[in-house]
Amino acid sequence: MIGLECLVKDKYEKIGNHVLSPGEAVGKGLTPEAAKDLGLPEGIAVAASLIDAHAGGLGVIGADVKGHNLPCENQPITSRVAMICGTSSCHMGVSEKPIFVPGVWGPYFSAMVPGLWLNEGGQSATGKLIDHVVRGHVAFPELQSKAAASAHSIYTYLNSHLDLIKKSLPVGFLTVDLHVWPDFHGNRSPLTDLTLKGMVVGLTLSRGLDELALIYLATIQAIALGTRHILETMQAAGHDINTLFLCGGLSKNPLFVQMHADITGKPVVLSKEVESVLVGAAILGACASGDFASIQEAMAKMGKIGRVVQPNHEHKRFYDKKYEVFLKLVEHQREYRSIMNSL
């Protein structure tokens, strides 16, 4: 239909008609030329590979959780979602049968875990958004100098500063009248609307470090509320998710992790190895070399749990209200657009 009929000739020979699953051995291993270039033994196993985020999912989602008192223990892997959180974020869930989720990519068969269907949600800007909000604030130079003086990263310093100003309140409650819609770079999931913009409601004339800390907190909460939006859409379509598995740069930030647990109401599992994409790649290699009989076996043995963060269920009512406001923000943004489009 689009003029590429030449690709169909000779049983798709031009684009290849031999499909390998992730982790299957490719050819006869490393060629002499490649072995020489890489300084590796000739013939060493080469595995069929994965997209980086999918490798990260593979590195965390199949870990053995025995003894950690998690709801996904003795449950199929389909009860878990792997989140790779960095500049942007991916939310990956698997299912035994194809599930079509509005605004979430997939289902793709055997795209991450062999034999299972993959759905992939995502947020276009997460780490990038936090960076943008913090570095663009007028109090950023003060934050930089104070963090440097205390020999901490700017985010460790901000987390400590929030603990100072919260007084007797739980830290998350500081944003009772400050709300962020996080789509400064459009919405990938679950609304699939690249025209959406970021929103902040509750600004004042204050310009100090306290205000910077509060907008930082509200931005992290907005990202976590966006994750809740994605998970609820997946669950409404037929997924049954009870545990989050986080990896990537943002999983090193304890505030980011705790907010995801509190706002989704689900425990968060952190992998022992932060660079889970590399673990996933190693799992593929270990299958291609024959060290493991299956991806599932390799995931259970090679993916290790570092720490479990439980949600504070007593904060549920507050975050339910924040989520209600969150959904109102996008509803209002669309109303404003409709008003302006009626010119």
- How far apart CA 262 and CA 245 sit, in angstroms, is 14
Residues comprising the chain, all counted:
343
User: CB neighbours of 7 closer than 8 A, spacing ≥ 6?
Assistant: 14, 15
Domain extents in the chain: 50-62+84-276+305-342
10 Å CB burial of residue 340 (0-12, 13-18, 19+) is exposed
The pLDDT, as a whole number, for residue 273 is: 87
32: exposed, middle or buried (Cβ count in 10 Å: 0-12, 13-18, 19+): exposed
Among all chains, which residue has been given the structure tokens 């009929």? 5
CATH code, residues 50-62+84-276+305-342: 3.30.420.40
User: Cα dihedral sign for 240, 244, 248, 250?
Assistant: positive
Q: Looking at residue 1, what is its pLDDT?
A: 87
Instruction: Give the per-residue pLDDT at 164.
Output: 96
Q: For every residue of 266-302, which 3-state class applies, written as one string? A: CCEEEECCCCHHHHHHHHHHHHHCCCCCCHHHHHHHH
Provide the pLDDT for residue 242.
Answer: 98
Q: What is the pLDDT along the chain (343 residues), one digit of tens a residue?
A: 899 999 989 989 899 888 898 999 999 999 999 999 999 999 999 999 999 999 999 999 999 999 999 999 999 999 999 999 999 999 999 999 999 999 999 999 999 998 999 999 999 999 999 999 999 999 999 999 999 999 999 999 999 999 999 989 999 999 999 999 999 999 999 999 999 999 999 999 999 999 999 999 999 999 999 999 999 999 999 999 999 999 999 999 999 999 999 999 999 999 988 789 999 999 999 999 999 999 999 999 999 999 999 999 999 999 999 999 999 999 999 999 999 999 8
- Residues linked to residue 153 through DSSP beta bridges, in sequence order: none
Instruction: Give pTM, 2 decimals.
Output: 0.94
CB 131 within 8 Å of CB 185: no
What pLDDT, on a 0 to 100 scale, did the predictor assign at position 222?
98
The pLDDT value recorded for residue 274 is: 79
CA 56 to CA 278: how far, in whole Å? 7
